Structures are given as structure tokens and as C-alpha cells.
Structure 1
Amino acid sequence: MNKGEKRICFLCNSKTSQSYHKFPKSESLRSLWLQACNLTPEDNVNSLKICSKHFKEDDFVDLNARRFGGIIRLKTNAVPSPSVIECNVTVAKPVSEFSKELNMPSTSTAHEMKICSNVVHPSTCTNEEIMSNNEQEMILETEVQRTPTKRKHVLTPWYVGDLSDLDVTTSRKAKRSLQMAQATITKQRKKIKSLQQQRRRLTLKIRCLKDLVASVPEHVQEIIKRNLRNKKQQYSSELRQFALTLQYYSPRAYNYIRHKWRNLLPHSSTIKNWYSNINCKPGFQKQALDAIANENKKKKVLLNIVIDEIAIRSQIIYGSNRFYGGVDLGSHMSFESDNDNLPKATHALVFMAVAINGSFKVPIAYFLIKSLTGEERANLLSKCLELINDTGAKAVSIVFDGAPTNLVF
């Protein structure tokens, strides 16, 4: 038993017994103890104790254990008695207590004198006195044999959910239970009010932040969202366009902004990879035609087709497992790229689309040539007009110089 823990018997409320014993952990033996103490399995008996007055002498393992510094223990099959056992066991005192008693002066003479003074001599007492003395002895015996029948409740409930019918049997208990319930309700109401106020403030804060995010440009919104997600994701088209434009105008400014925004913008090497993924081989440029189609979705695009021939350096260069610099009219009209005997191209024939009702121009095709006849040029122009028509835009004019080969158109 821990120091400072109150030792009170549950059955007789005794505080001066020799030993106190807790309820066993074994389910079968525990049920016998509960039945003997008139308790139910639902009752909390972890803090209840039964004193040694409710056990027989045969229920203990060793009565002299305490005398030598040990602990008095019960046998595994010991069950308490609801009433106090008259012929209860007398536990031996420790050796230290015996030594103290030996050193104390003897007072047996005084006790003997007091006892003898109360003795009634037969020669001097009457029959009435003897009968009265016998009646007093019988009354004392009956009082000793009586055991308290009133039992306290197992535990005082601390929560409303622990209340039961036993807590409202008297007016005092009912009043205490009512006060506890009212205090619990008041506490919960205050907590609900505080949580509701906290929820309203958070809702207002979220609404203000959403309005603030909606007021900034789309690429800034994307940067904010990426920062909140805090994980790698694919860059959106708006953020890609913003990064490409800013890096094109000023790489130093781009690196500065990227550093200030905690590297939320793509790295310069990533932008280089984006540029390298664009297919710029000779022929009609699919990316340029897709860009015209996107602009035409906003409004009808009117185009002017500009055709020009540009002189280039004539040479053959090897790189990326192929030869460059030879005559190339596109994927279906070029020579073998792995052949080093290619005819060297001397000019680049370029088709440029210029918006009449817009502010953009984009090269839609180029071809590496050495010499082309007028009929071949006409076939390329016819293919160009067909692809522009597929985008939904309309080519309203064609501009070229006065070279003899162009007049064959």
C-alpha cells in the first residue's frame, strides 16, 4: 500500500485493522468477492480494500511474515465474510515493537487492581445485583456481535455520465448531482460559444484571403498555389508563359525574382529544355500553326503570307547522330540525314504569317534548298494555304519579291 493512501475497510469502515487487502484480479475469484460485498461487476473497486477482520485464520499464508519485515498475504482461494469474524486472527507484532514494549515499565499491577475492584463478592451481593450484571453482560455481547449494515457508495461520480439511480436516492445526493449537471452544461456552453466564435473568425479570414488571391494575375495565383501545396507539380501554361517571357527579356531579372520567390519559378535549365523540345526541323511548323489556331478561337484572324529566300552558309555539319546543312524540304521530301554526300543547301525558303488584324507574326515554314523551280514553289505555297485554312484563319494576301522563279506562281 502506498504511503499517504487512506486505509479504510469497505465493509466495516475500520481504520485500525492489522492488514488491508485489495480485490483480486482473477475474474472467478473477483466475482466471489463482489458477491460477498454485495457489489456488481459494473462497480469500480480498484480503490476499495477489505480488512483482515473479515477473513479466517486459515485464509492467510503466513501470519508471522509481518514480524520479520514481510507482508501478510491471503491464499488464492480466500473470500471475505460480510460480517466481522469474532474469532479473528491476531497478527504477530514486529520484533521492533516487542523490544519497545520490553523497555516500557510494567503496568499490569494497576490493571489488575482495577479489575479486582469491579469484582462482586458472593458474600456481599444480592440476587438482584447478580441478575442486573448478567443483563448488562448480555447487552454488551449483543452490541459486539452487531455489524454495521449501512454501506457507503463505491465512488462519488465526477462526470454526468457516471450518475446512476443511487445518486438521487436522497435529497442531498440529488442536489449535488443537479449542481454537477448544471456546472457541466455551463462549461460546455462556454466551450461551444468559444468554438463558434473561432470558426467565424477563421471563415472570415479564409474569405478575405480568397478575395486577395482572386485580385492578383493568374501567374501569381499559380505561384501562390504551388507554394501552399509544397510539393512538385507540373507547371501550368500561364506560369510557363510568364517564365519564358521574363527570362527572354532579362535572364538576370528572372534569376533575381526566382530567388526572391523561393525557387517557385522553373530553373533556367528547365527553360532550355522547353526550348529544345520544340521541333524546328525544316518543313511546316506545327507549333506555329497551333498558335494561329488558338488566336483564331478568340477572334477571326486575317493573315498576310510573306515568302522570301534567304542566303545561308553552304556547309555540312554532323551532330546529334545526323548531318545538317544539306537540302531539306521537310520530313517527307528530304535526303537521307545519315549520308555525308548530301547536296549542300545555299538558301532557306521562309513562309511568314503576319496578322493583319492583330499584332503578331510567326514563321510557319522554312525549307533548305539549292534551287527550286516555279512549279515546286507553287506546290509548297498551295500546301501552306491548305494548312492555314485548317486552323480557321484566312489568308487574304501573299507578298514576295520579283524573282523570275516567283513569277511562275
Structure 2
Amino acid sequence: MSRKCYLCDRKASSEQYISLHKFPKNEILCEKWKYACGILDSDDISHVSLCSIHFKCEFIQIRTQREKPFVCLLPTAIPTISVPNVPDIVETLPSQNNESKTFNNLSLNNIEDNEHNGHLEQSIVDTTEVFESNDSYPGLDMLRVNSCSQSEHVNPDVDDLMSPCTIIRKRSSFEPRFVSEIEEQDFLTSKRRKRTIEMIKKVNKEKSLKIKRLQDAYRRQKRRIKTLEELVKHLEEEQMLSCEAAASIMNMVSDEEQNFI
């Protein structure tokens, strides 16, 4: 199944100069990407991608591989176009300005000569989908202009995406996995309403059983502690156990009780 953009459901397209990019491995950048897309820290992003439409022109680099053009992102690239939350670009990485200047000063010839250089490969945020078109393509300068303009106006309906209010964080699955993921649309039809109610009942039953097991375990532990206290007291009264030993045992029992709670 082909990948799609998490925010606008677009696919990679060589004709429209749209590419898909995975989330960066850098923790600081990854947090800003998640914030921009409205994704929680606990969500799985291994299969989540964003298209180049959501990045400004200064974050985009056009490269070639086997005479085919494809779009790369600078290491400091952050989605800021048509996103639910616009992150603060100033506080990205300490070396953001230096790295941006370095990439902007690179000529296209230097980029082509360093295709096999691992240093540049590591500087590019998780690889993009290479365009599958085998047709001839315009000059790289034209590609750069088209790619940047494409990020602002690809189709007429892109104007609707410019309003942050129209973008809603999408659930990763059609059916809710947790009670917190239940939405109004899960009650639109009778079948979906029935499944949602059954899921709520199931979750409630599981939590009730878990609480009951914990309560039973706590009561058993209390009975064991009470029995042990009576035994220690009896041994101490019969002078079969010293006061120091009895106090030490009771301290150990108290510590175990606190750890159990």
C-alpha cells in the first residue's frame, strides 16, 4: 500500500513535484514535527509521513539520482504550512543557522558530485520517495521554483488547507482502540454505535476485574501480615524471640507492606 501524507492524504507525484518524508530521528526535531501535526508523544510514527507541501521553500533541496530528480529536506526542516499547530522555528537546533547557510551555499554541481558521499546522506532527513517517472525533466532551477510554488498552490483546494481550523488530527485506525479515541462519528450508524458501546463495556469490565484482583490480593496480604504479627507477639511472650529480633521482623513486615501498596 502506497504511503500518503498524514495531514492531506496526498501521494508522491513527479508531475506535481510532491515527495513524502518520514519523521526525523533527531528527538528535538521529531517533537516539533509531532507538535505541528498534533500527534501525541505516545503515538507510533514509524509509518507516518508528511509531504513537501507543508514545508517552506528554504527547507527544500532538489537532488538527482540516476538522472531522476527528487526532493530532500534540510536537517532543520520543520513543517509550518497548513499544519494544526505552527511550531517555533527559532528554537530548533543550536547549529540551525550554520547548517542552513551551508546548505544554501552548496551549488548544484557540488550536490551531484557528492551523491555517493555518506556525509550528505546522513544530513538529509529520512529519505524521500524517489519519483518514478522516467520522462525527461526540466532544469533543476525550474524544479526548485516549481517545488517551492507547489508548497503554496498545488491545487485550488489547497487554499482550504491554509486555515489551521480545517485540519483535524486523524486517528491512526478506523475503529477506536481506546476509550479516549472515541469520537462523535463512532455513533453515527447503528452498527458503529453498537461496536463502540460494546468496546466501552469490555474496557469497563476488564478494569473492574483488575481492580477486584488487586483488592483480593491486598486483603490476602493483610491477613498474612496480621497472622505474622500474632505469631511474633506469641513468640515474644513465650520468650522464644528477643525484643530486638521481634522489632526487626516487624520493621521488615512494615517495609514489605509499604512496597506492596
Higher helix content, 1 or 2:
2
What band does the TM-score fall into relative to the shorter chain?
0.3 to 0.5
What TM-score do the two structures reach when normalised by structure 2? 0.41
Q: Which has the higher contact order (CA 8 A, sep 6+)?
A: 2
What TM-score do the two structures reach when normalised by structure 1? 0.29
**Larger Cα-atom Rg:** 1
